[in-house]
Amino acid sequence: MITLHGRWYDGRTSVATEAVLTVYGSGEVRVEAAEDGKPLDARPRFDLRTTARIAQTPRYLLFPDGGKFETGDNDAVDRILAQFRRSAWSGLVHRLESRWPYILAALAVMLLFLWGGVRYGVPFTAEVIADHLPPSAYRVASRQTLAVLDRSLLRPTKLDQAVRARLRNHFRPVLEDHPEQAFTILFRKGGRLGPNAFALPDGTILFTDEMVRIAEHDDELAAVLAHEIGHVVHRHGMRRVVQDSLLGFALLALTGDVSGSAEIFLSLPVILTELAYSREFEREADDYALSYLTSEGIPPAHFARLMKRLRKKAAAKGTPGDNGWRSYLSTHPAPEERIQRFQGGREEAG
């Protein structure tokens, strides 16, 4: 016979009655008032459900008709369960949550799972989603992005019409090698963006005036064009948009609220993760450009020479806070790494 002291709730009112619950060897269950022994409930056999043991918090024995018995005598409840309803799961939960090594191991597994989800799950999911979005989504995203850039950072191009026509004509063979994609070449004055080039999700590729002026050969810009086409082919723009959204939703799910001072700390992992993703995308676009230039007989060293020139300009007039010459290099892999790749593993002298 096992006796528990606690409170009885009949399931019909919120009144709590001090009571005693007794489980006999036969499995019979009786609940009686602690004050006068008045019968409150009885069961011919133990068919009660119990809540899980969580440290030393009170537990409930739940009756089929809605009544419940609350007790803090967890050890006695465990003895009842061991005798009448063996629950390996309940015992396992209690053992895990009451031992620090298990808690630390569970925390490590959770952190590893979260890291794996962010590092591999988010990019994979973003790639699948981006591959299945309709063309209209790419057009809308590109149109809105360009509108924001034109209002905030970019200005109308100052390049001569003849220069723009010459470059479009020089780019034509590269674009014709990609008939599956409708590319559009645009020119803008970069201002704070400095010498830059980037691709929008729908195939719009934009060169800043500063990038055109720093180039000493049109093939250098053709090499940059091949790199930007790599971004479009691999859907990097839309994948990054989806990744940002997924990371935001994940943070919201973990914290329950992204507001106030928490935003300062919550934004850090997103920024750091996005920087890593950006560099992975850049390497993938470099791979595409290197392969294309080699197959078409365009010396990849043109790209390397432009990178070296950008690096020298950054060193000559850039400062840690400069938004000019460093802008094209900031989210890309190290310039030395890229230069060596496009020069066949060796860096030119000078």
- What pLDDT does residue 294 have? 92
Distance CA 227, CA 298 (A): 13
Which secondary structure element, helix H or strand E, spans residue 269, and what is its range?
helix 262-295
The separation between CA 95 and the C-alpha centre of its own chain, rounded to angstroms, equals 33
CA atoms within 13 A on the CB side of 17: 22
List the helix and strand counts (H, then E) for the chain: 12, 11
Distance CA 314, CA 306 (A): 12
Q: Domain spans of the chain?
A: 2-97, 117-342
Kindly report the backbone phi and psi dihedral angles of residue 214, in degrees, each rounded to the nearest multiple of 5, phi listed first: -80, -20
Pick the CATH number of 2-97 from 1.10.3720.10, 2.30.29.30, 3.30.1380.20, 3.40.50.10860: 2.30.29.30
- Per DSSP, 301 falls in state H
Is the CB of residue 218 less than 8 Å from the CB of residue 166? yes
- What pLDDT does residue 18 have? 95
Distance CA 309, CA 221 (A): 13
Distance CA 44, CA 30 (A): 9
pLDDT tens sequence for the chain (350 residues)? 899 999 999 988 888 999 999 999 888 999 999 999 999 999 998 888 888 888 778 999 999 888 999 999 998 998 888 887 655 455 555 556 566 776 788 788 888 887 887 778 878 888 888 888 899 999 998 899 899 889 988 999 999 999 999 999 999 999 999 988 889 999 999 988 889 898 998 999 999 999 999 999 999 999 999 999 999 999 988 888 888 777 777 666 665 654 544 444 444 444 444 445 577 888 899 999 999 999 999 999 999 999 889 888 777 765 444 444 444 444 455 667 788 888 874 444 33
Apex 254 CA angle, 249 and 257, nearest 5:
75
Kindly report the backbone phi and psi dihedral angles of residue 40, in degrees, each rounded to the nearest multiple of 5, phi listed first: -110, -35
Which secondary structure element, helix H or strand E, spans residue 43, and what is its range?
strand 39-43
Distance CA 169, CA 165 (A): 6
- What pLDDT does residue 268 have? 46
The separation between CA 265 and the C-alpha centre of its own chain, rounded to angstroms, equals 15
Overall pTM surpassing 0.75 (yes/no): no
- What pLDDT does residue 93 have? 58
Distance CA 311, CA 316 (A): 9
Place of tokens 């989603």: 129
